[in-house]
Amino acid sequence: DGNLLDYDLQVTMQACCEEYGVPYALALAVADVESRFDPDAARSTNDYGLMQINQVNHGWLPEQGIDPVALADDLCDGASKPIQVLYLTAYGDPELAVMAYNCGPSGAQNLWAAGTYSTDHSRKVMDRFDYWTSVLED
């Protein structure tokens, strides 16, 4: 759709997805929606990089040996690992995992308690997930 992820970053993202068991199409969808594949993307909400890791996470990620603004760390340990370990495993559903990734676990829990199981953001990511799944199958 006009924006492309650099080939080396595609290779890195795919390897990270394989390592952590995250569907590659889901990681592509998150990066597509979050940053439009711009590794230098930054928002006024203090979200940075391809996967738009919020600055609130920049305090504890380095304690885990993860540099949240380094591209490989952003893709792997800063995004792919939490998506799988924290969210896909815990919630078992890609859209719920995307909601938890975007809103934080407590924010997502609050939405679910109120009966909300998708948001504009999660629907955008799931639409891109369907798109990237179809592209990768061709």
What pLDDT band is residue 132 in, cutting at 50, 70 and 90?
very high
Name which residue leads in pLDDT, 114 or 66.
114
For the stretch 44-97, pLDDT in tens is 888 877 887 777 766 766 776 766 666 565 566 556 666 665 677 788 899 998
Question: Would you give the DSSP letter of residue 83?
Answer: I
| Residue whose pair of structure tokens reads 């940053």 in the numeric block | 35
Cα–Cα distance, 21 to 109 (Å, whole number): 23
The H-or-E segment that residue 35 falls in is: helix 24-35
Predicted TM-score (pTM) of this structure: 0.83
pLDDT at position 120, please? 97
Longest CA–CA span in the chain (Å) reads: 42
Structure tokens at 136: 């990768």
pLDDT (mean) for 21-44: 88
pLDDT at position 90, please? 80
pLDDT at position 45, please? 82
Closest CA to 56 of 103, 123, 117, 1: 103
